[in-house]
Each structure stands twice: as structure tokens, then as C-alpha cells.
Structure 1
């Protein structure tokens, strides 16, 4: 948690002139005491800023779309940052749709189309179309287009791209 104080000059101007006369020659002491007085008098007016939590992905093989959608919604509401720095496959790739998500150039992202919970059993065409669009809506534009044209039709395997390729296709690069 970080406390944001007003600029020092403004703080010193708020102090009584008699206090400033006594503190001449001791600017650090004056500033410290001044900040303490200001905090006591105007404590509720101080602004508290808390950094958003960060999730770093090193090895995430995906899982249930419904569960991942719920997780992504919670992370979006919390403003949580996501850094994809390792393997991220299947439902994990939907993190790319978060506004605070980034990808390391060395990351590996595995894409495939929606499938049933029973390996090798296809979804009905309507379900396949619906879940394909749900997944695609969580990708940057160029990845969305590529996914809908190509990757979604791979359901028994994954198509793996590097973080560098994902960045070239519109994903945000991690610093």
C-alpha cells in the first residue's frame, strides 16, 4: 500500500507561521513534523493506492471453459494483471483478453477448438460454434481471426505459437 502525500511545499504552507519560525534551519525536521501534523488533522483525506495483484503463468494447461470464464471475470473486476511467461494452453489462452495481460516473447501458447469433456467426442455444431465464439471473444483481433479460421478446427491436438508470434498478432508484450 502506498500513501500519496501532497507536495512538500503545499504541506509547509499549511503550517502555522509560528511553527515555521521555530523550524528555520531545520527543513527536514519541519517537513517531518509538518507531515505528521497534516496526517493527524487530515488523515481521512489521504489517498491510499493499492497495486493490482499480479498472476504469473508458467505452466497452465487450461481446463473447463465455464470455470475459466468465471475466473477471468473476477480478475477483470479486480484489475488483476496477468503475465504469461511460460506454457499457457487451451482455456488459459483466454487470459489474452484481459486488459492487463501481457505475454513474454519466450512464452508458448497452445490453441485448439472447443471440445466435449470426453476426449475424442465432438460437440454438436451449434455448441461448437457458440463456444468457438466465446473463446475468440477473449483474443486480440488478429488472434481472434486466426483462431476462427484455423485453430478452432483442431480439437484433438493443439497448435502452439510463441509469445513473439502472439505479440506480432496483437498481444501485449511484457516488459
Structure 2
């Protein structure tokens, strides 16, 4: 009777160990996942910043592909693992509230949040020039961003 119980406990322990091992494999597989961003016209700066922080915490690669990546989509350039398709066009402009200028203190705050997601050369240009454009976009090719130091995506959308 005691031996049967011990076998049962042992079997449960093995099952639990195997389940935990499998869960570790799933977590490992999730860390290799990629978010493929295509044709994104932007959105709210704060929400995008939180999303990028979450992607970085989960070690998820961000691939910027498709025809366009405009406005807050460009903040994905701040992902720890990001690559850029050379053919994608990136559209930059300053923070606004639905196309209307923000009060100076909010403009400065949100400009800094956006700029914090760019590497040094892009950040400098954004802060000196692009953020002052509220309507329309400064358009930059992915190839130009790669020349500024961003990694090019491989030809395979999964790589």
C-alpha cells in the first residue's frame, strides 16, 4: 500500500517535471516569436510606448515591413530587437492631438517620448526638425534608416 502511494507520488512528480519542462519550451519558443508590422499608420504615443516596453520585456523581435510605417509606428524602431525592410517608407511628424498643435509642455513631453525610441542620429534629426511638422510627414525609406544604423530584415518574413 505504501509502495503504491509512493509510486503514485513519484509518477505525479515526474508528470509535473515534464509539464514544467514543456512549459519552459513554450516560453523559450515564445521568446523567439516575431511581430511583423505592416502598413501601420500610427496611433496613440503612450499606448505605443507601453506596447514596445511589453515587447522588449517578452524578448519579441519586431519586423517593420510593408509599404508604410507612419507616425507612432516609427516608435517600433526603439524595440530591442528590430529590423527594417529597406523598401518600407517611414513617415515622421511631431506629436499632436488629431492634427492640432499641443500646448508647449505636452509637445515637449511627447516629443521626448517619441525621440527616446530612436537611435542617436535619427533622434537628433527628429528633435531638430521632424517634430515641428504637424501636418503631413517627412518620408524616409527603410534603406535610409539602415544606413543610419538600423538592422535590415532578412528576405524571409520569419527571420
Question: CA 1:68/1:45 → structure 2, altered by over 3 Å: closer, same or farther?
Answer: closer
User: 2:153 and 2:142 mapped to 1: Cα distance?
Assistant: 10
Residue in structure 1 matching 2:112, options 133, 136, 145? 133
How many Å separate the matches in 1 of 2:149 and 2:132?
21
The aligned residue for residue 75 of structure 1 is: 55
* SS of 1:84 mapped into structure 2: strand
RMSD between aligned alpha carbons? 2.0
Name the counterpart of 1:4: none
Query: Per-residue displacement from partner, 1:21-73 (whole Å, max 9, x unpaired)?
Result: xxxxxxxxxxxxxxxxxx99x95779733142211122000011121112111
**Residue 89 of structure 1 aligns with which residue?**
70
Counterpart in the other structure of 2:139: 160
Gap change, CA 1:56 and 1:122, over 3 Å in 2: same
Of structures 1 and 2, the one with the larger relative CO (CA 8 A, separation 6+) is 2
* 2:73 paired with 1:113: no
Structure number, greater radius of gyration? 1
Q: 2:35 aligned with 1:55, yes or no?
A: yes
Give the TM-score, by structure 1 length: 0.70
2:9 corresponds to: none
Give the TM-score, by structure 2 length.
0.77
Distance 1:52 1:108 in 2: 26
Distance (Å, rounded) in 2 between the aligned partners of 1:133 and 1:63: 16
1:94-129, Cα deviation, whole Å (9 max, x unpaired): 000111111011111000000113x3x211111111
